[in-house]
């Protein structure tokens, strides 16, 4: 029963059981690194959904060949494929998003991940070039539709990223932002900024 409950707070529950000992709501949980990466690729329209074979070059088909191969690590660990297909390296070539969001250390046997919230995670989402590129692609994807009402476009972006509509205050803030003269002249950059903000917000990282 608790698994099916909403994570929304209720005034009565907060008053009587603020620690949720009686399980009157489900506790929020953070997305793991793979789910976050795949969600960003899905929203940007950049996710390849098909099944993939090995992403390692054919010459590196054996352990000895892999050790001696000159691998293009950025191309291997940052493809458009789902995270389940990404090869994991112990040292060089590790995916920075996975490392930032509590991916298990491949050099050790890890039976259970220990999720944490650190300032470096927010800094990664705000400053990483790959996140900015996906936000720009998401803006292109949204602007391919002929929106006549900016409010509808904002609501669509919210539903796609946060699975909820924007609050009245959020909607008003983004409408004011989109109405700025510079954003009227450069709508793609404006929407890329909106998606970047949504990718970086706490609501995107928690269920």
**What value does the mean pLDDT of the chain take?**
82
55-58 long-range contacts, CB within 8 A, separation 24+: 55/79, 55/81, 55/85, 55/86, 55/87, 56/87
Look at 23-32, 87-96, 172-181 and tell me which has the smallest mean pLDDT. 87-96
- Backbone φ and ψ for 131, nearest 5 degrees, come out as -60, -45
The model's pLDDT over 114-152, given as tens digits with 9 standing for 90+, comes to: 777 778 888 989 999 999 999 999 999 999 999 999 999
Tokens of 167: 């609050």
Which residue's entry shows tokens 């099944």?
Answer: 51
Whether residue 204 contacts residue 38, with contact meaning beta carbons closer than 8 Å, is answered with no
What is the C-alpha end-to-end distance of the chain, expressed in Å?
A: 17
Residue 62 pLDDT: 53
């Amino acid at each position: 029963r608790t698994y099916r409950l909403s994570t929304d707070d209720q005034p009565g529950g907060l008053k009587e059981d603020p620690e949720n000992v009686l399980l009157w709501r489900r506790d929020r949980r953070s997305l793991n690194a793979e789910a976050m990466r795949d969600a960003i690729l899905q929203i940007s329209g950049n996710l390849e959904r098909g099944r993939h074979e090995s992403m390692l070059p054919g010459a590196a088909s054996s352990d000895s060949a892999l050790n001696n191969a000159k691998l293009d690590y950025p191309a291997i660990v940052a493809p458009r494929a789902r995270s389940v297909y990404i090869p994991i390296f112990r040292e060089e070539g590790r995916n920075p998003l996975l490392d930032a969001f509590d991916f298990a250390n491949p050099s050790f046997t890890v039976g259970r991940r220990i999720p944490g919230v650190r300032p470096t995670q927010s800094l990664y989402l705000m400053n990483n070039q790959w996140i900015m590129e996906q936000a720009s692609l998401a803006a292109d994807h949204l602007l391919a539709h002929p929106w006549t009402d900016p409010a509808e476009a904002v609501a669509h972006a919210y539903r796609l990223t946060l699975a909820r509509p924007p609050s009245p205050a959020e909607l008003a803030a983004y409408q004011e932002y989109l109405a700025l003269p510079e954003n009227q002249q450069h709508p793609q950059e404006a929407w890329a900024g909106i998606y970047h903000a949504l990718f970086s917000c706490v609501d995107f990282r928690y269920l």
